[in-house]
Structure formats: C-alpha cells, structure tokens
Amino acid sequence: DSGVTQTPKHLITATGQRVTLRCSPRSGDLSVYWYQQSLDQGLQFLIHYYNGEERAKGNILERFSAQQFPDLHSELNLSSLELGDSALYFCASSVAQATGELFFGEGSRLTVL
C-alpha cells in the first residue's frame, strides 16, 4: 500500500460526458502528479502540483483540468470525453517537488463508450 488513494477505481461513461477523478496523497506529501497510461502501457505525464500551485504541465489536453486543494487532495477533471480518453489515470505523490521518488496510487480506469 503506497498510501496514495484514488477514486473511483473504475468508471464507465459515454462520449461527450465529464468525469472527475480524485486523489489523496500520502500524509505529508505536498506534490501531486497526474499520469495517463494507455493500453500499450505508455506513461504520459499530465500535470504536477506542489502545495496547491501548478508546477509543470505535460501533454495535457485543453479538455482536461486539474487542481490541488488546501487539504492537498487533487482532482483531475476530464470533459467532452472521447473514445481515445479511455485509459488508466494514475496519481502520484512525493514529499518535495524536485525528486524522482514518487508514490503511485492504484489508478482509475476510465472507459469511454
């Protein structure tokens, strides 16, 4: 158990819909990262927050947005969903913002029909 909690674990929705994925980082961790993992296993960095502020953006679509709240939990909002958005979405956390030692949640599997 990494200490990172993601909900929901599974989500099935239709094209055009909007979903919110939630992440609670490990106790004490200030950094939260969001990743997308496609079926071919590739890992795509989406966005990084540190103590409530956006620190880095990867290849995140404009239809996607995220935020980190004062209690340090984070949400990833995916809107106008397309079939290609079906993937595993991972949240990871770390104590600092300049470290490669991340702790990953078990992921949220999104299926868009």
Partner 1 sequence: GDSVTQMEGPVTLSEEAFLTINCTYTATGYPSLFWYVQYPGEGLQLLLKATKADDKGSNKGFEATYRKETTSFHLEKGSVQVSDSAVYFCALSDPGSNYQLIWGAGTKLIIKP
Select from 79, 92, 80 the least CA-distant residue to 47: 92
**Total binding residues for partner 1 by CB under 8 A?**
22
Structure tokens belonging to residue 79 = 């809107």
Residue 56 within binding range of partner 1, rule CB under 8 A: yes
Residue 92 within binding range of partner 1, rule CB under 8 A: yes
Dihedral, CA of residue 19, residue 5, residue 23 and residue 34, to nearest 10:
-90
Structure tokens belonging to residue 100 = 């490669």
Q: What single letter denotes the amino acid at residue 6?
A: Q
Stretch that binds partner 1, among 13-21, 62-70, 71-79, 94-102 (CB under 8 A): 94-102
Stretch that binds partner 1, among 19-27, 59-67, 71-79, 91-99 (CB under 8 A): 91-99
**Where along the sequence are the contacts to partner 1 (CB under 8 A)?**
2, 4, 41-43, 45, 48, 56, 58, 90, 92, 97-107
